[in-house]
Amino acid sequence: MENKNASTRMGIKKIAIFDYDNTLFFTDAACKMASNDVLNKKLTRSKIKKLPLDVRVKIFTLASRKYWKMYKVNNSVIERCQSLKLQGYYIIVISTRWNTVKRYTIKSLVKENIPFQKLVLDRKNSRDGEKFKINYLKSLLGKYEKYAFFDDSINIMQKLRKFPSFDKVSLYLVKGTKIMEYKRKNS
């Protein structure tokens, strides 16, 4: 675990964290194919997330291993990622994907020339992806001068904005190809 002094000594002052699914890549087509293989029904990621954990694991693992080439890049987010990299940001890709699909996740990032320095996956297979991401972000607070976080979940944005400690984190909500800054509402 790096501390603030070590981070600045290493020259890392700014970090940008990008979610993988439906932020950097549109993955619904692969999920629909995998759910059809498992359940004989084409389901979106949001519907799959409501299924029992063991079924979700089967579908998401199959989507990542067999259908990863069907992922579509989100060019507007990738362009922002590349721009931040040129501005000196350290790029982290985060996902609630399990470590069992790490190889396929890296392949897709490399294939699309996404400039990332670190990949963070949910190694503990937590049931709460939002909590996993929030805890990871909390672990970074105070170590860097600038933070940017990109995700497609309005829920995670709302939760992050409740904590004053996240005031220094620029939050960006990704909806399709649009990137919108998510600001705290004035009380």
Q: What is the per-residue pLDDT across 156-182, written as a single tens digit (0 to 9) for each?
A: 998 888 877 777 889 999 999 999 999
CA dihedral (20, 21, 26, 29) in degrees, to 10, reads 140
Question: pLDDT tens, 13-68?
Answer: 999 999 999 999 999 999 999 999 999 999 988 899 889 988 988 998 899 889 98
Structure tokens at 55: 């079924």
pLDDT of 18 reads 97
Q: What is the mean pLDDT of residues 106-131?
A: 85
Does the structure show a pLDDT above 50 at 2?
no
Does the structure show a pLDDT above 80 at 185?
no
Nearest-angstrom CA–CA distance, 92 and 115: 9
Phi then psi for residue 173, to 5 deg, are -90, 125
Residues of the chain with CATH 3.40.50.1000: 4-25+72-182
CATH number for the domain formed by residue range(s) 4-25+72-182: 3.40.50.1000
